[in-house]
């Protein structure tokens, strides 16, 4: 995959974030924080032995549309929690927390769950590109990506209202009660 395809995918996800922002009457911008979190994720993947490859950091900036100000390096490292895997994996990016909440609302409305999967696909794509950037799979980066994916999947399983996800039995499409002739759960 080339950088333009990755950028197009991220831009598409950000358009979806803008739609969520508008439909939910959110009082804050959801797009720029989502771009920042994707950039921080890229930084988490490429951070190695206390430093970044400048070319890869530029690729992260170009793909995400998020400028990483080198004059505020310490603040960026702290805000993004990318200097420590333990810190980075201590909680999912807010984007994933929001996507699980959106899926819970979709579940309660009897609609197909899709928000989490959209975010998951973008992050996996970014991770795959950065893990395989130099023509081979970087095993250290692949392990970081795998631990990240496990963390967000665990978060989803623990916080989803859909029994198929909560029980870890969700393979593919989730069966929505109202789609099978059974009334969907009422909003509380």
Q: Kindly report the backbone phi and psi dihedral angles of residue 30, in degrees, each rounded to the nearest multiple of 5, phi listed first.
A: -100, -20
Q: 135 in a domain, yes or no?
A: yes
Structurally, the chain folds into a number of domains equal to: 1
Q: Select the highest-mean-pLDDT range: 23-27, 48-52, 94-98.
A: 94-98
Number of CB atoms found within 10 A of residue 73's CB:
12
Containing domain of residue 129, as a range?
Answer: 3-180
Nearest-angstrom CA–CA distance, 149 and 92: 10
- Please say if the pLDDT value at position 27 is more than 80: yes
Q: 188 in a domain, yes or no?
A: no
Q: 167 in a domain, yes or no?
A: yes
Q: Is residue 184 a contact partner of residue 178, using CB atoms and an 8 Å limit?
A: yes
**E strands within 46-166?**
none
CA neighbor of 138 nearest in space, from 12, 46, 31, 28: 46
Q: Which residue has the tokens 């899926």?
A: 103
Nearest-angstrom CA–CA distance, 61 and 55: 10
- Please say if the pLDDT value at position 35 is more than 90: yes
Least confidently predicted of 70-79, 139-148, 175-184: 175-184
Nearest-angstrom CA–CA distance, 21 and 15: 10
Rg of the chain (C-alpha set): 17
Quote the tokens at residue 144: 């970081």
pLDDT of residue 1: 64
Q: 187 in a domain, yes or no?
A: no
Average pLDDT over the chain reads: 84
Q: 20 in a domain, yes or no?
A: yes
For residue range 55-87, what is the model confidence (pLDDT) as tens digits? 888 889 999 998 887 777 777 777 778 877 888
Q: 101 in a domain, yes or no?
A: yes
Q: 111 in a domain, yes or no?
A: yes
Q: 64 in a domain, yes or no?
A: yes
């Amino acid at each position: 995959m080339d950088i333009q395809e990755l950028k197009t995918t991220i831009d598409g996800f950000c358009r979806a974030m803008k739609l969520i922002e508008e439909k939910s009457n959110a009082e804050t911008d959801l797009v720029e924080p989502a771009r920042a979190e994707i950039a921080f994720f890229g930084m988490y993947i490429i951070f190695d032995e206390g430093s970044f490859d400048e070319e890869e950091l530029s690729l992260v900036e170009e793909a995400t549309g998020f400028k990483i100000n080198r004059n505020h390096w310490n603040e960026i490292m702290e805000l993004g929690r990318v200097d420590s895997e333990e810190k980075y994996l201590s909680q999912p990016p807010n984007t994933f927390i929001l996507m699980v909440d959106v899926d819970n609302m979709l579940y309660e409305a009897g609609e197909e769950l899709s928000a989490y999967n959209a975010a998951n696909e973008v992050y996996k794509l970014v991770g795959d590109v950065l893990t395989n950037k130099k023509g081979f799979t970087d095993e250290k980066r692949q392990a970081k990506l795998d631990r990240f994916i496990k963390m967000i999947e665990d978060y989803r399983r623990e916080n989803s209202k859909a029994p198929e996800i909560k029980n870890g039995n969700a393979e593919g499409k989730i069966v929505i009660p109202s789609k099978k002739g059974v009334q969907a759960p009422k909003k509380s």
